[in-house]
C-alpha cells in the first residue's frame, strides 16, 4: 500500500453520513420493534423454561437481536465525540441513544433473569441437552452468575441510572481534562500530544513539560475528587445489593476469570517488584542521573537512528502480521484502506488508543501516532486487537465478543512479535536502547498495572469505610502504590499522585489486571511460536475462540495452565532474564567507555 493510498482519519460514513442521518432513526425503530416483539412473545410463552427445543428456538431469536444495526448509531455518536470532545451535538445524540438502548435492554431483562431462576435439576438437563449444545457455555455462565441477579424491577432501576451515576461523571472529567492545552517552547500543544511528548524529551525539558501537565492534573482535581467518590460509592451500593463480597469480583467474573486466580496473579507480581526496582536502577544509570523523579519513569534513554513515521511503522507491522499468518496482514490492510484507523493527535481529540468492534459492525482503531518507538508498539497492539476482533467474527453472534483477559493477551502477542522484529534489525550499538524500551513496556503493562490494581483495592476500601475520600488522600494512595513498584531509584512526590485525575482505567474498576494477565501469558505464546512456527495454528484457535469457552479452557487448548501461578511466574522469569541482560550490557558499556 502506497502512502498516498493510506487514509489517516476515520471514515465514519461506513456507519452513517451525519449525526442527522435518517438511517439512524430507521435503525433505532427497527430495533425497538424487534425487541418489543421478542418481549411480547416470550413473556407469554414460557415453554423455554421447561423444554430444550423451545429454549433453543428462543435463544436463536434472542441471538438475532444482537445483529441488529442499532448499536452502531451509539458507536458513531461516541466516535464523533472522541474526535472532538467539544461536540455537544454528538454528546446529546449519544445520551439519547444510550437511553433508548437502555430501555430496550430493560425490555429483555426478564429473559436471562427467568432462566437464572430455574431449578438446578433443569439447569443440568439443559446443559446436557444435545439440542442446546451450541449454547452450552453461554448457559453455564448465566447459571453460574445468576445468584448475583436482582429482581427485574431492581435491575431496571440500576440500568436506568447507570449512565447518570457513572458514565456522565466520567465523561465530565474527560471533557475537562482533554480541553486543556499546554504552552511549551512557543507551541500550544493538545493535552494528549503533550502527554505523549514527555518521555521523548531530554531531562530538563521533560521535567518542565511534566510540571505543566501536573499543574493541570491538580487544577482539575476538585471535579475528579467528586467524580471518583460518586462512581466508587455507586459501585459500593450495587455490589452490596448483588451480594458481591469484594469490589474486584464483578469485573473478574465479568471477564470470565476466577477471582482466586487473579489475586494469585496480583500477589505473584507484587512479590517480585524487585525486578522493577532493578530495572529503574539501571534506567537511572542510563539517564545519567543521581536520582529519578516520576517524570522520568517512562523516559526514553536514547533514540533509535530513525524515527517511526506512520508509513514505516505500517510496513514493519504488516510484514510481521503477514509472516505469522497472511490472513492477519489482509485484515491489517483492509482496515487501513477503508479508513478504519484514525492516526494522528489533534486538538480536541481524546488521547490514548483503542480498538472498537461489534457484531455486524466495522472494526475501528484509534491512535495518537507521533512517529516514535512507542507509537509503533501501539500500532501493533491495537491492530492485534483488531485481528482478534475480526477472527472472532467466525463465531456465531452470541460468542463474537471476547473477555478483556483474552483481548489483552491477543494485543500483546502481536505487539511482542513486532517488537522482536524491530530489535532484530537494529545495529548492536542500539541494542541497549531497544532492550530498555522492551522492558519499559513490561514495567508499564505488568508492574504498574498491578500497582494500580492495589491502589484501587485501597481506594474502594476507604470509600466504603469513610464514605468520602478527599483528593489529597486519593493522591497519597496513588503515590504510595506508584512508589512501591518504582522502588528507591525513583522519587514519587505527593503531587505526582494527582495522575488519578486522568487515568481512565481506574473508573472501570480493576480492568487493569488484564494488562498484566495478557502480557505474561502472551510471552509464553510467542516463545512457543518462535520455537515452532506451526504453533501459530493453536494461537489462531485462541484468536478465533471468541467467548464460546472460558479463558482457562481457551489457553488450556494452547497447552497453558492459567489456574496455577507458575504460568505467571514463567513470564516474570523472562522479564527478569531481560533485566539481567540489560544490567550486563550497561555494565559492559560503561567499562568500555572508561
> What is the Cα–Cα distance from 229 to 460, expressed in whole angstroms?
9
In a domain, 64, yes or no: yes
In a domain, 513, yes or no: no
Distances (CA, A) of 283 to 381, 479, 574: 24, 20, 18
> What is the Cα–Cα distance from 228 to 174, expressed in whole angstroms?
12
SS3 assignment, position 5? helix
In a domain, 410, yes or no: yes
Upper half-sphere CA count for residue 175 (Cβ side, 13 Å)? 16
Per the DSSP assignment, residues forming a β-bridge with 182 are: 189
pLDDT at 193: 86
Domain that holds residue 69: 14-149
In a domain, 573, yes or no: no
Of 120, 149, 178, the residue that ends a domain is: 149
In a domain, 71, yes or no: yes
Of 382, 410, 425, the residue that ends a domain is: 425
- Whole-number CA gyration radius for the chain: 24
> What is the Cα–Cα distance from 484 to 487, expressed in whole angstroms?
6
DSSP 228: H
CATH number of the domain that 38 lies in? 1.20.140.70
pLDDT at 593: 57
> What is the Cα–Cα distance from 205 to 289, expressed in whole angstroms?
14
pLDDT at 307: 75
In a domain, 509, yes or no: no
**pLDDT tens digits, 461-474:** 999 999 999 999 99
pLDDT at 589: 60
pLDDT at 297: 96
Residue whose C-alpha cell reads 440500568 in the numeric block: 159
In a domain, 69, yes or no: yes
| Helical packing angle, 310-324 and 404-424, nearest 10° | 110
Instruction: Collect the ranges in the chain with pLDDT lower than 70.
Output: 1-5, 306, 589-594
> What is the Cα–Cα distance from 419 to 445, expressed in whole angstroms?
15
End-to-end CA distance of the chain: 48
> What is the Cα–Cα distance from 568 to 540, expressed in whole angstroms?
21
DSSP string, 140-172: HHHHHHGGG---HHHHHHHHHHHIIIIIHHHHH
Let me know: does 570 contact 526? Beta carbons within 8 Å: no
> What is the Cα–Cα distance from 489 to 125, expressed in whole angstroms?
60
In a domain, 238, yes or no: no
* Counted domains in the chain: 2
pLDDT at 590: 55
Of 425, 458, 477, the residue that ends a domain is: 425
pLDDT at 2: 44
Amino acid at each position: 500500500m502506497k502512502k498516498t493510498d493510506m487514509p489517516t482519519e476515520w471514515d465514519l460514513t461506513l456507519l452513517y453520513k451525519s449525526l442527522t442521518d435518517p438511517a439512524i432513526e430507521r435503525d433505532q425503530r427497527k430495533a425497538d420493534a424487534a425487541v418489543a416483539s421478542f418481549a411480547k412473545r416470550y413473556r407469554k410463552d414460557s415453554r423455554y423454561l421447561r423444554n430444550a427445543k423451545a429454549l433453543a428456538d428462543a435463544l436463536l431469536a434472542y441471538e438475532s437481536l444482537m445483529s441488529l444495526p442499532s448499536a452502531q448509531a451509539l458507536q458513531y455518536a461516541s466516535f464523533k465525540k472522541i474526535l472532538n470532545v467539544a461536540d455537544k451535538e454528538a454528546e446529546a445524540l449519544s445520551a439519547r441513544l444510550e437511553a433508548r438502548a437502555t430501555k430496550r435492554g430493560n425490555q429483555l431483562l426478564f429473559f436471562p433473569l427467568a432462566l437464572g431462576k430455574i431449578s438446578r435439576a433443569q439447569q443440568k438437563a439443559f446443559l446436557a441437552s444435545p439440542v442446546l449444545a451450541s449454547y452450552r457455555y453461554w448457559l453455564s455462565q448465566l447459571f453460574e452468575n445468576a445468584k448475583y441477579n436482582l429482581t427485574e424491577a431492581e435491575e431496571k432501576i440500576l440500568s436506568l441510572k447507570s449512565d447518570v451515576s457513572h458514565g456522565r461523571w466520567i465523561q465530565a472529567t474527560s471533557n475537562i481534562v482533554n480541553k486543556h492545552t499546554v504552552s511549551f517552547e512557543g507551541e500550544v500543544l493538545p493535552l494528549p500530544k503533550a502527554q505523549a511528548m514527555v518521555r521523548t524529551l531530554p531531562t530538563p525539558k521533560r521535567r518542565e513539560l511534566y510540571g505543566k501537565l501536573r499543574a493541570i492534573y491538580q487544577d482539575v482535581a476538585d471535579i475528579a475528587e467528586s467524580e471518583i467518590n460518586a462512581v466508587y460509592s455507586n459501585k459500593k451500593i450495587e455490589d452490596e445489593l448483588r451480594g458481591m463480597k469484594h469490589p474486584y469480583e464483578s469485573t473478574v467474573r465479568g471477564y470470565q476469570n476466577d477471582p482466586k486466580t487473579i489475586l494469585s496473579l496480583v500477589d505473584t507480581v507484587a512479590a517480585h517488584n524487585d525486578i522493577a526496582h532493578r530495572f529503574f536502577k539501571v534506567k537511572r544509570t542510563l539517564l545519567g542521573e543521581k536520582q529519578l523523579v516520576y517524570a522520568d519513569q517512562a523516559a526514553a534513554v536514547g533514540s533509535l537512528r530513525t524515527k517511526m513515521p506512520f508509513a514505516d511503522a505500517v510496513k514493519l507491522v504488516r510484514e510481521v502480521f503477514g509472516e505469522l499468518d497472511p490472513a492477519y496482514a489482509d485484515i491489517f490492510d483492509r482496515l487501513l484502506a477503508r479508513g478504519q484507523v484514525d492516526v494522528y493527535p489533534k486538538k480536541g481529540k481524546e488521547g490514548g488508543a483503542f480498538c472498537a468492534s461489534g457484531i455486524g459492525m466495522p472494526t475501528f482503531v484509534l491512535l495518537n501516532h507521533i512517529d516514535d518507538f512507542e507509537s509503533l508498539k501501539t500500532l501493533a497492539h491495537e491492530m492485534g486487537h483488531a485481528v482478534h476482533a475480526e477472527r472472532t467474527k467466525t463465531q456465531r453472534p452470541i460468542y463474537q465478543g471476547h473477555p478483556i483477559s483474552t483481548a489483552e493477551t491477543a494485543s500483546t502477542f502481536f505487539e511482542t512479535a513486532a517488537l522482536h522484529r524491530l530489535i532484530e534489525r537494529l545495529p548492536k550499538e542500539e541494542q541497549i536502547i531497544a532492550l530498555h524500551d522492551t522492558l519499559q513496556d513490561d514495567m508499564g503493562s505488568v508492574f504498574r498495572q498491578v500497582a494500580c490494581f492495589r491502589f484501587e483495592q485501597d481506594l474502594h476500601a476507604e470509600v466504603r469505610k469513610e464514605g468520602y475520600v478527599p483528593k489529597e488522600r486519593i493522591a497519597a494512595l496513588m503515590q504510595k502504590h506508584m512508589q512501591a513498584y518504582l522502588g528507591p531509584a525513583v522519587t514519587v512526590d505527593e503531587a505526582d499522585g494527582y495522575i488519578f485525575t486522568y487515568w481512565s482505567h481506574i473508573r472501570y474498576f480493576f480492568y487493569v489486571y488484564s494488562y498484566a494477565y495478557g502480557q505474561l501469558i502472551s510471552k509464553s505464546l510467542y516463545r512457543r511460536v518462535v520455537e515452532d512456527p506451526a504453533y501459530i495454528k493453536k494461537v489462531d484457535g485462541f484468536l478465533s475462540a471468541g467467548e464460546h469457552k472460558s479463558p482457562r479452557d481457551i489457553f488450556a487448548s494452547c497447552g497453558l495452565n492459567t489456574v496455577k501461578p507458575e504460568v505467571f511466574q514463567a513470564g516474570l522469569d523472562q522479564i527478569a532474564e531481560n533485566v539481567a541482560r540489560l544490567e550486563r550490557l550497561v555494565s559492559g558499556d560503561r567499562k568500555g567507555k572508561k
